[in-house]
Amino acid sequence: MAGVLGIDVGGSNFRIGLFDQEGHRLDLSEGKTDSSGGRDWMLSEIRQRSLSLIEKAELQVKACGISFGGPVDYDQQQVSSMHVSGWQGFKLARWVKEHLNLDCLVDNDANAGALGEFRYGAGRGTHSIVYITISTGIGGGVVCEGKLLHGRDSLAGELGHIPMSVAGAVCSCGGQGCLETFCSGTAIALRGRGLAKRKPAVLARTIELSSGDPDKITAETLFQAATEGEKGAVFIVREAAQWLARGLLMVIRILNPDRIILGGGVALAGKRLLDPLHEYLDILSIPMLQYSTEIALAELGNYSPLYGAAALGWELV
């Protein structure tokens, strides 16, 4: 029997899994990323842990897929990282071939997450999905007819940087009014902090849930207070949901996929995000252009990219 290695190289955690053809995870080795160790530390961890998994495996490991938490030039199979040293222009797939003797395919974590959910998660049984991961920032991946779209510059699925409004804030990317500035976890928290300073009374419960410090407000404490009915928190959550609804409607108008799958930390709010999202999508939708694209939550949680990495590996077998 044959298997593959899936590897998820992330900024906070890294994971290496052994998978069979049905996507069952047979073994797992994971740890915290030591960014100060840079590329060399990470490669050494990957090498040792992978060799150990391969040695223990009861099936023959045939290939490897990697989800990388930073920009990937897919055509060149080359990664880069703006936060951790040593990765710029690094040919990661070639390194795997040389050090683990496995054919390897690398993609960025949002694309890997999309593929993971498509094959083994909330996208099973569909032809096309758009995956959107909402945490600190917003990323995305597009699967059409079973294939990940990369686009001419490996930039397809950059959903966080859809220009939503001329009236938006400056984004981390340098643009203005990107989707990310309206409904990433960071944006939601910032809006909460701003409101808490202007009008502490309408966010009293949120502030209490945030150790009494307006500067410690997070998307999570806002969602919690909104669930309890706090006016200011409800306002901010609904505003974020409204912008997200507009973003998803753009995706629907352009691609009309079978399903849109929401992942990342903010999606953990579950029903508290989905309910207002559906409400706004319903208000924005048009009888003449009735679509049946479904909105679903990711099923694989933090492991979507790891499962996607396994799926990348299977593309080589």
Which residues bind to a copy of itself, rule: CB under 8 A?
128, 130, 142, 144-145, 147, 149-159, 161-163, 165-166, 173-175, 246, 249-258, 284, 286-293
Determine the Cα–Cα distance for residues 248 and 243; give it in Å rounded to an integer: 9
Q: Which is nearer to a copy of itself, 32 or 152 (CB)?
A: 152
Rounded to a whole number of angstroms, the minimum distance from the CB of residue 80 to a copy of itself is: 11
Q: Which is nearer to a copy of itself, 46 or 260 (CB)?
A: 260
Tell me, what amino acid is at 71?
P
Sign of CA dihedral 221, 163, 262, 67: negative
Determine the Cα–Cα distance for residues 222 and 233; give it in Å rounded to an integer: 5
Q: Cβ neighbours of residue 112 under 8 Å, at least 6 residues apart?
A: 8, 65, 66, 67, 68, 141, 304, 305, 306, 308, 309, 311, 312
Rounded to a whole number of angstroms, the minimum distance from the CB of residue 288 to a copy of itself is: 5
Q: Which is nearer to a copy of itself, 26 or 144 (CB)?
A: 144
Rounded to a whole number of angstroms, the minimum distance from the CB of residue 130 to a copy of itself is: 8
Rounded to a whole number of angstroms, the minimum distance from the CB of residue 78 to a copy of itself is: 16
Q: Which is nearer to a copy of itself, 154 or 221 (CB)?
A: 154
Rounded to a whole number of angstroms, the minimum distance from the CB of residue 170 to a copy of itself is: 11
Closest residue by Cα to residue 228 from 272, 191, 270 = 272
Rounded to 5 degrees, φ, ψ at 198 are: -70, -45
Q: Which is nearer to a copy of itself, 29 or 154 (CB)?
A: 154
Contact 296, 273 (CB under 8 A): no
* Tokens matching residue 205: 């419960």
